[in-house]
């Protein structure tokens, strides 16, 4: 879902249009609430889900809840390159095209100058379909054809690129989007695209919406300070989210050559605390929280 907000007005007033970057806000469902709604029906029952280029059993917290939630669905569809653990729970698994099997346009975080475009270079195999085909055909069958006037991904790219004056083919020939030259020091005269025209460390938009306009630190709900009684049984602090080469976030674990480089899940622990607990470097250990437990290899 996309929503246009007042911030777009400030960009338009400054630049004459909404911006060189994204022209709309992208809004997403709150993931913990989303999965709990599958289980509880509150605030309403979610009966079907399509997972695309994602693997919630690996990427979402509280995997036990996610596992039970996905099993509760009447229909679960996965559209992906690989058979993931989430795909093993699906009613249908649809093979997706890679960037070489489809025309492709991309930018890094919508930054001007990062745009790239590639043609379809190899034929699709095993009846792989791209995400445009999936959503367009689903929309047409749900009598939303008026919202999908483009019959191909190339036509859709032509529509997206129309403000630049280029077609998709012309964009590929050019190689990148040539943005208008920057006006150095313009902010000194015209300010910034904010309600006050200033760099807002104190967010006036959040203030008008009734939220705290300044960032503040809040103690996590499970910590020795907020729940000292919990710390008596679980005295260690778990920090998650660290990255490890050769993987990229949750990606590349299906590539055999990369899996050989990092075949086992590892956890890092302070050597002094490890020796105190009788854990040697390389031992398999249980990591347990009130939500469940997993086993990983200790790494000093």
* Higher-pLDDT residue of 257, 127: 257
For the question of whether the overall pTM of this predicted structure is more than 0.75, the answer is yes
pLDDT confidence of residue 21 = 44
With cut-offs at 50, 70 and 90, classify the pLDDT of residue 17: low
pLDDT exceeds cutoff 70 at 180: no
Q: What is the pLDDT of residue 193?
A: 81
Q: What is the per-residue pLDDT across 189-202, written as a single tens digit (0 to 9) for each?
A: 888 888 888 888 99
Predicted local distance difference test score (pLDDT) of residue 19: 46
For the cut 50, the answer to whether the pLDDT of residue 216 exceeds it is: yes
Q: Which residues neighbour 116 within 8 Å (Cβ) at sequence distance 6 or greater? A: 105, 106, 107, 175, 176
Q: Concatenate the DSSP letters of all residues of 109-165 into one string.
A: TT-TT--EEE---S---TT-B-HHHHHHHHHHHTT-GGG---SSHHHHHHHHHGGGT
In the predicted model, what is the mean pLDDT of residues 209-236? 90
> Would you state the structure tokens that stand for residue 97, as one six-digit string?
């095209």
Phi, psi of 257 (to 5 degrees): -65, -35
Q: Residue 9 pLDDT > 60, yes or no?
A: yes
Q: Report the pLDDT value the prediction gives residue 2, as an integer from 0 to 100.
A: 40
Please check the confidence at residue 4 and state whether its pLDDT lies above 60. Answer: no
- What pLDDT is attached to residue 3? 37
94 CB-near residues (< 8 Å, 6+ apart): 77, 78, 79, 80, 129, 134
Q: Which of the four pLDDT bands, split at 50, 70 and 90, describes residue 67? A: very high
Residue 51 pLDDT more than 60?
yes
The pLDDT-based confidence of 22 (bands split at 50, 70, 90) is very low
Question: How confident is the prediction for the chain on average, in pLDDT?
Answer: 85
Q: Which residue has the higher pLDDT, 30 or 12?
A: 30
Q: At residue 66, does pLDDT exceed 70?
A: yes
Using 50, 70 and 90 to split pLDDT, how confident is the model at 108? Answer: confident
Say what the pLDDT of residue 260 is: 93
């Amino acid at each position: 879902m996309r929503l246009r907000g007042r911030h777009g007005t400030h960009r338009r007033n400054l630049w004459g249009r909404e911006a060189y970057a994204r022209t709309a806000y992208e809004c997403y469902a709150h993931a913990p609430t989303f999965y709990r709604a599958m289980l509880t029906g509150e605030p309403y029952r979610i009966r079907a889900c399509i997972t695309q280029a994602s693997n919630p059993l690996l990427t979402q917290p509280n995997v036990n809840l996610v596992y039970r939630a996905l099993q509760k669905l009447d229909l679960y569809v996965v559209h992906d390159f690989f058979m993931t653990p989430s795909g093993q729970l699906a009613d249908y698994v649809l093979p997706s095209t890679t960037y070489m099997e489809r025309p492709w346009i991309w930018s890094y975080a919508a930054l001007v100058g990062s745009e790239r475009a590639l043609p379809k270079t190899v034929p699709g195999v095993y009846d792989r379909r791209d995400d445009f085909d999936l959503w367009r055909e689903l929309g047409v069958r749900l009598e939303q054809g008026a919202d999908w006037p483009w019959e191909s991904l190339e036509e859709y790219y032509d529509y997206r690129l129309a403000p630049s004056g280029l077609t998709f083919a012309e964009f590929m020939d050019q190689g990148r989007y040539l943005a208008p030259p920057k006006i150095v020091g313009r902010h000194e005269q015209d300010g910034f695209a904010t309600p006050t025209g200033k760099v807002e460390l104190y967010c006036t938009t959040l203030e008008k919406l009734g939220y705290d306009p300044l960032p503040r630190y809040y103690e996590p709900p499970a910590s020795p300070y907020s729940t000292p009684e919990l710390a008596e049984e679980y005295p260690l602090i778990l920090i998650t989210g660290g990255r490890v080469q050769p993987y990229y976030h949750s990606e590349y674990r299906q590539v055999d050559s990369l899996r050989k480089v990092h075949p086992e899940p590892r956890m890092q622990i302070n050597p002094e605390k490890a020796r105190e607990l009788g854990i040697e470097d390389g031992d398999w250990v249980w990591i347990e929280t009130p939500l469940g437990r997993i086993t990983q290899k200790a790494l000093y």
